[in-house]
């Protein structure tokens, strides 16, 4: 596989650039390239793997990952504040850390967002595009991408959705083919064509990889798969795997590997910030719930292990609690059983900083999608499931949720890129 070098500037356009995750990712990247912080949590920057020679190397020394110094940030938001003021408002990072890169953050000013209040009723955007219909919305986004690329002398651009979760909608006929999708766009069917779909379509049309960091029905449709393959553009999604679900993809494989049974798994969260406010709406929470519920059933395979997992009661709750802001707290109560059916309990209390966990995931997805495009890979990037809560898969496929299997997929793909085979030992 021939991989083009990461020459020139990489534009990273973020939808929701004023949000907590985006401003945290950007600040950390700017600090890292000034030597003020380490990119802790970034696989692309800090992880090592073994190559054929037996030597362990940083992944970025094995394949040509874009240099952090070559990244130019931009994007869209429903509020006009620059990245510095938005980060102050998010209250994730301390002011002293923001001040260390203040000038660069202040220079990052969002473009007006493509927004439809129907899809996120708890948000009242004041800085939005005046689009008469979905086709016009898409064309405006495409023009933004072209303008940004030219103004910043970027060789490549990747688009990242780091905005809020949209309301839940099921897959419909309009999503089943590219022709049907384009017809729905032309007919301005706003009930089935979401703003995130407009961003995805515009990005793919411009030849830019697109990453879906929320659980929205957006990229995971036959229409978008078809379009990404037609345009030879990588896509990845969906929903950053940062907190509670990350724990599930570690614990559930442990139960299955040890052949321990599970009767029930109750999960609840408290969360503030903009994401918490949006998820307080039942229609938006439904989208997140579907994403979070799919994990353990896939790992447990109850149809193959009915005695252990045939009747697991799985409940997920998210509660909006403004005082907590970005510092999410997640509780899990897991009722398990072992030898002779005797019950046991495991309780997990994870006090996590949501954006601190999500920021390196967002960066890695951008860097790896850029790498994939330079390697001539397009369509759904299954190997990036490691970073995602609800990995995309086509109808005849099963997603992989086990974190350790997902990590193996990352390494396998890296090895394939450089023409090496997977070793015959456990790595």
* Separation CA 274–CA 294 (nearest Å): 24
* Residue 235: inside a domain: yes
* 44 and 98 co-located in one domain: yes
Phi-psi region of 191 (alpha: psi -120 to 50; beta: other; left: phi over 0): alpha
Q: Residue 251 is part of a domain; what is its CATH number? A: 3.30.360.10
Q: Is residue 426's pLDDT more than 60?
A: no
Residue 318: pLDDT band with limits 50, 70, 90: confident
Q: Compute the average pLDDT of residues 369-394.
A: 95
- Judged by average pLDDT, the poorest of 1-15, 143-157, 310-324 is 310-324
Choose among 200, 180, 158: nearest CA to 44.
Answer: 158
* Residue 320: inside a domain: yes
Domain containing residue 77: 9-240+356-417
* 330 and 405 co-located in one domain: no
Q: pLDDT for 173-208, tens place per residue?
A: 999 999 999 999 999 999 999 999 999 999 999 999
* 255 and 235 co-located in one domain: no
- Of the residues 328, 353, 378, which one is the last residue of a structural domain? 353
* 291 and 412 co-located in one domain: no
Q: Compute the average pLDDT of residues 241-265.
A: 95
* Residue 1: inside a domain: no
Q: What percent of the chain has pLDDT over 90?
A: 83
* Residue 427: inside a domain: no
* 184 and 223 co-located in one domain: yes
- What average pLDDT does the structure give for the chain? 94
* 196 and 109 co-located in one domain: yes
pLDDT of residue 48: 97
* Separation CA 167–CA 196 (nearest Å): 11
Phi-psi region of 232 (alpha: psi -120 to 50; beta: other; left: phi over 0): left
Phi, psi values for residue 333, rounded to 5°: -115, 120
Q: Which value, to the nearest 10 degrees, does the dihedral of the CA atoms of residues 207, 213, 217, 221 take? A: 40
* Residue 189: inside a domain: yes
Specify the 3-state DSSP secondary structure of 104: helix
* Residue 85: inside a domain: yes
**pTM (2 d.p.):** 0.93
Q: Residue 152 is part of a domain; what is its CATH number? A: 3.40.50.720
- Of the residues 318, 336, 353, which one is the last residue of a structural domain? 353
- Judged by average pLDDT, the poorest of 52-61, 235-244, 318-327 is 318-327
Based on the structure, what is the number of domains in the chain? 2
Q: pLDDT for 86-95, tens place per residue?
A: 999 999 999 9
* 347 and 335 co-located in one domain: yes
* Residue 286: inside a domain: yes
Q: Which of 207-216, 265-274, 414-423 has the highest mean pLDDT?
A: 207-216
| CB proximity list for 196: less than 8 A, separation 6 or greater | 15, 161, 163, 166, 212, 214, 216, 218
* Separation CA 241–CA 93 (nearest Å): 20
* Separation CA 11–CA 225 (nearest Å): 23
- Of the residues 323, 353, 383, which one is the last residue of a structural domain? 353
CA atoms within 13 A on the CB side of 300: 28
* 297 and 254 co-located in one domain: yes
* 141 and 254 co-located in one domain: no
Residue 189, number of CB atoms within 10 A of its CB: 15
* 283 and 385 co-located in one domain: no
Choose among 180, 179, 217: nearest CA to 200.
Answer: 217
Phi, psi values for residue 379, rounded to 5°: 80, -165
Residue 310, number of CB atoms within 10 A of its CB: 12
* 84 and 187 co-located in one domain: yes
* Residue 4: inside a domain: no
């Amino acid at each position: 596989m021939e991989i083009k070098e990461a020459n020139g500037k990489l534009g990273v356009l973020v939808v929701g650039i004023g949000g907590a995750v985006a401003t945290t990712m950007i600040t950390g990247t700017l600090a890292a390239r000034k030597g003020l912080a380490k990119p802790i949590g970034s696989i692309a920057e800090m992880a090592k793997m073994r190559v054929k020679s037996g030597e362990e190397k940083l992944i970025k020394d094995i394949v040509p990952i874009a240099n952090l110094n070559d990244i130019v940030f931009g994007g869209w938001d429903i509020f006009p504040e620059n990245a510095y003021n938005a980060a102050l408002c998010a209250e994730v990072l301390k002011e002293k850390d923001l001040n260390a890169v203040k000038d660069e953050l202040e220079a990052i000013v969002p473009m007006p967002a493509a927004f439809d209040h129907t899809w996120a009723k708890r948000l009242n955007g004041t800085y939005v595009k005046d689009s008469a219909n979905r086709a016009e919305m898409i064309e405006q986004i495409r023009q933004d991408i072209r303008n940004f690329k030219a103004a910043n002398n970027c060789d490549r651009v990747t688009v990242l959705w780091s905005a809020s979760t949209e309301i839940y909608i099921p897959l419909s006929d309009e999503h089943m083919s590219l022709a049907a999708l384009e017809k729905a766009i032309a007919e301005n069917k706003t009930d089935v064509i979401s703003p995130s779909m407009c961003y995805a379509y515009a990005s793919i049309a411009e030849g830019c990889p697109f990453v879906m960091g929320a659980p929205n029905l957006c990229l995971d449709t036959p229409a978008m798969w078809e379009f990404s393959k037609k345009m030879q553009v990588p896509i990845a999604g969906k929903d950053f795997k940062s907190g509670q679900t990350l724990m599930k993809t570690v614990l559930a494989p442990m139960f299955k590997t040890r052949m321990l049974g599970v009767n029930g798994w109750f999960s609840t969260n408290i969360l503030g910030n903009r994401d918490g406010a949006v998820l307080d709406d039942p229609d938006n929470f439904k989208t997140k719930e579907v994403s979070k519920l799919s994990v353990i059933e896939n790992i447990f395979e109850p149809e193959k292990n009915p005695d252990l997992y045939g009747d697991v009661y799985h409940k997920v709750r998210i509660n909006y609690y403004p005082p907590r802001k970005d510092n999410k707290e997640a509780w899990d109560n897991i009722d398990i059983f072992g030898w002779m059916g005797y019950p046991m309990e495991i309780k997990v209390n994870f006090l996590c900083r949501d954006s601190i966990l999500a920021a390196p995931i967002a960066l890695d997805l951008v860097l790896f999608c850029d790498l994939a495009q330079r390697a001539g890979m397009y369509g759904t990037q299954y190997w990036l499931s490691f970073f995602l809560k609800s990995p995309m898969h086509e109808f005849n496929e099963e997603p992989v949720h086990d974190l350790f299997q997902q990590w193996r997929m990352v390494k396998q793909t890296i090895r394939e890129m450089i023409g090496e085979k997977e070793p015959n030992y456990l790595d």
